[in-house]
Chains A and B, each alone.
Chain A
Amino acid sequence: MSLHLMDFFEIRNGLVSKEFRAREIVSYFLKRIEDHNDQINAVVTINENALRQADQLDLRLARGERLGPLAGVPFVIKDIFCTEGLRTTACSKMLHNFVPHYTATAVHRLISAGALVLGKSSCDEFAMGSSNETSCFGICRNPWDLSRVPGGSSGGSASAIAAGIALGSLGTDTGGSIRQPAHFCGLVGMKPTYGRVSRFGMIAYASSLDQGGPMTKRVHDSALTLETIAGFDSSDSTTSKQSVPRWSASISSDLRSTKVGILKEFFEDLDPETAETIEIAKKVLQEAGAQFVEVSLPLVKKTIPIYYIVATSEASSNLARYDGIRFGFRAQGADELNIEDFYIRNRTLGFGSEVRRRIMLGTFALSSGYYNAYYEKACRLRRLLQEQFRELFCRCEFVLAPVSPTAAFQIGQKIQDPLEMYQNDLFTTVSNLVGLPAITVPVKLNQYGLPLGVQLIGPHFEEKRLFDGGFAIEEKIQFYKSRPNGF
């Protein structure tokens, strides 16, 4: 019985029809973690209570209780979501010993719907990175080619699903951190509208950009997960009170009367392989009934500097809380120092180099004399982007775009050059700046057997259009049938 090849519906169905028990599901996937995690280093903490939680689910089933929509589905959770009693580190030395007393709202909703948490997945330190190389747990590898990165920052989540050691994951996306690893690992990655999913219990990187969302193999599973975790939460004042549709029940690949925008600026100097991937997606969408319109948004070419100014500014403020007093890393001998030096020692030794770099950049952009020219200016441009997208979406239902300039790159290839690494976010950061939903859907494997996907970007709260468009691609291409060798 190959549970790792099943979709969420098949898992739930098998459980409810007593074909297998929740305990068997957990045992099966824990065994897969044991067999394969050494190769990819995707899971950083195992949930020691997973079997007990499975037993509880089996007990509820035996009692005849009705189980939730994600019953029995094994998840790994990006190590940026707090999980009660289960170590949560943001993959930083700063939080190496942190065991939260509460569970993030999104994870809580997932568990309430019957999902089984196998453990926590690796990510870039504090979700800052595009390759998962800054995790304090070491490099995480891409199952499609172990010499390559899985993407980042939710790289462990993507690697785990691609390797079949979990079926789903919750990731977070501040500038592409769900969509780019999904692209590198051949998965569906959904970054919802800002405000759809509660950030309560999600360790903050840049609060006005961060958004949690599902990573799965299938579009339907993504919709089912998002409708489970989305919706207002009184613990997060930025969550929306907009009703959450049951997307999974209404997905349709019929795109007649759908206009798809082709954003001109995204197609200049495109890598031939990426351009070919877009052409395939275009053809499929056309066959499903979609029409195309060319749209233009000149400002979109400047989004990387705008994004990195806003993101690092917010990061420098959010990460000011880590001082080694109430929680987190405390350097040896720090207690002997005066309070200023105590802070400095703990922060300097507790944070990795990319995190320190971003804190410094953000401190610069917010500092007296530079605030207006950098942070405030970036925020003004952010409003212009929002207004321009509003106009753009009067002409099309969603935009078809690349996810990343290339397929997965080699481990070590870009880590020494921060600016080159930042260029990876060329096509993804704009959705975060404006708060738009966007989805990655896998399309093909390149000549080296590496996955390539496309991105669909929609207007606020129109995730349905993205699920429909994504489903049209999935139905035709059926990428989910492809698997990396050895997994």
Chain B
Amino acid sequence: MISRDDVIKLAALARLSLPEEEIESCRRELSQIIDYFNAISELDTEGVLPLMTPTELEIHLREDRVQSGGLEDRDMNLSHTLERVGNLFKVPPFV
């Protein structure tokens, strides 16, 4: 069971907003799903290492060297943004 404050905190962490009238329904819904998740709490995992990815034994890192992949064009990479200033992304003020 999670509280109203938990929901508000989660939304803030996830950078999402919840209108006042949706907080309670969201709390109920998340609580229901999290209760369902709790089914795993009783299972014994003592001494078992977490498995984060099925290919943990086979990860192929390449040398950290600049390669031409055809994606290094600055204009191309800036072209998806709605607002740019010269070669920079424009963002709202944050200081």
Residues on A lying within 8 angstroms of B by beta carbon are: 98, 101-102, 194-195, 207-208, 232, 234-235, 237-241, 299, 302, 304-306, 308-309, 316, 320, 323, 325-328, 330, 334-335, 337-340, 342-345, 347-348, 351, 356-357, 359-361, 363-365, 367, 373-374, 376-384, 386, 418-419, 433-435, 460
Contact check, A381 vs B45: say whether CB atoms are below 8 A apart. Answer: yes
**How distant is the Cα of A337 from the Cα of B69 in the complex, in angstroms?**
36
Contact check, A367 vs B10: say whether CB atoms are below 8 A apart. Answer: yes
Nearest B residue to A324 via CB reads B82
**How distant is the Cα of A165 from the Cα of B34 in the complex, in angstroms?**
41
> In the assembled complex, how far is the CB of residue A398 from the closest CB belonging to chain B, in whole angstroms?
17
**How distant is the Cα of A194 from the Cα of B57 in the complex, in angstroms?**
12
Given contacts A102-B71, A360-B10, A377-B45, whether A308 and B55 have CB atoms under 8 Å apart is: no
Contact check, A344 vs B17: say whether CB atoms are below 8 A apart. Answer: yes
How many residues of chain B have a CB within 8 Å of chain A? 52
Please classify the interface of chain A as helix (H, G, I), strand (E, B), loop, or mixed, using the class held by over half of its residues. helix
**How distant is the Cα of A10 from the Cα of B26 in the complex, in angstroms?**
53
In chain B between 5 and 56, which residues have their CB closer than 8 angstroms to a CB of chain A? 6-7, 10-11, 13-17, 26, 29-30, 32-34, 36-41, 43, 45, 48-55
B1 interface residue per 8 A CB criterion: no
Please classify the interface of chain B as helix (H, G, I), strand (E, B), loop, or mixed, using the class held by over half of its residues. loop
B66 interface residue per 8 A CB criterion: no
Contact check, B50 vs A379: say whether CB atoms are below 8 A apart. Answer: yes
Residues on B lying within 8 angstroms of A by beta carbon are: 2, 6-7, 10-11, 13-17, 26, 29-30, 32-34, 36-41, 43, 45, 48-55, 58-62, 69-71, 76-77, 79-83, 89, 91-94
14 contacts between A and B (CB under 8 A): A101-B76, A238-B53, A240-B55, A299-B43, A309-B37, A325-B81, A327-B81, A344-B16, A360-B11, A363-B10, A377-B41, A379-B50, A434-B54, A460-B54
> In the assembled complex, how far is the CB of residue A219 from the closest CB belonging to chain B, in whole angstroms?
24
Nearest A residue to B62 via CB reads A234
Partner among A363, A377, A386, A434 whose Cβ is within 8 Å of the Cβ of B14: A363
CB contacts (< 8 Å) of A379 on chain B: these are 50-52
Contact check, B50 vs A348: say whether CB atoms are below 8 A apart. Answer: no
